[in-house]
A and B are shown apart, each in its own frame.
Chain A
Amino acid sequence: QSVLTQPPSVSAAPGQRVTISCSGSSSNIGNNYVSWYQQFPGTAPKHLIYNNNKRPSGIPDRFSGSKSGTSATLDITGLQTGDEADYYCGTWDTSLNTEVFGGGTKLTVL
Chain B
Amino acid sequence: QVQLQESGPGLVKPSETLSLTCTVSGGSISSISSSYYWGWIRQPPGKGLEWIGSIYYNGNTFYNPSVKSRVTISVDTSKNHFSLALNTVTAADTAVYYCARQYVERVTIFGVVTLGYFDYWGLGTLVTVSS
Residue positions of A touching B, CB distance < 8 A: 2, 32-33, 35, 37, 43-47, 50-51, 56, 88, 90, 92, 94, 96-104
Contact = CB atoms under 8 A, between A and B. Distances in A.
Contacts of A99: 39, 51, 54, 62, 64, 102, 115
Q: DSSP majority for the B interface? A: strand
Contacts of B48: 2, 88, 101-104
Nearest to A94: B114
B65 A90 contact: no
Interface string B13-36: 000000000000000000000000
Nearest to A104: B48
A61 B124 CA distance: 28
A35 B117 contact: yes
A92 B116 contact: yes
Given A44-B122, A47-B121, A51-B117, 15 more contacts: A32-B114, A32-B116, A35-B116, A35-B118, A43-B123, A44-B98, A44-B123, A44-B124, A50-B117, A88-B48, A90-B49, A92-B105, A98-B62, A103-B48, A104-B48
User: For this complex, into which size category does the number of interface residues on chain B fall?
Assistant: 20 to 34
A33 B105 contact: yes
Contacts of B118: 35, 37, 45, 47, 90
Contacts of A104: 48-49
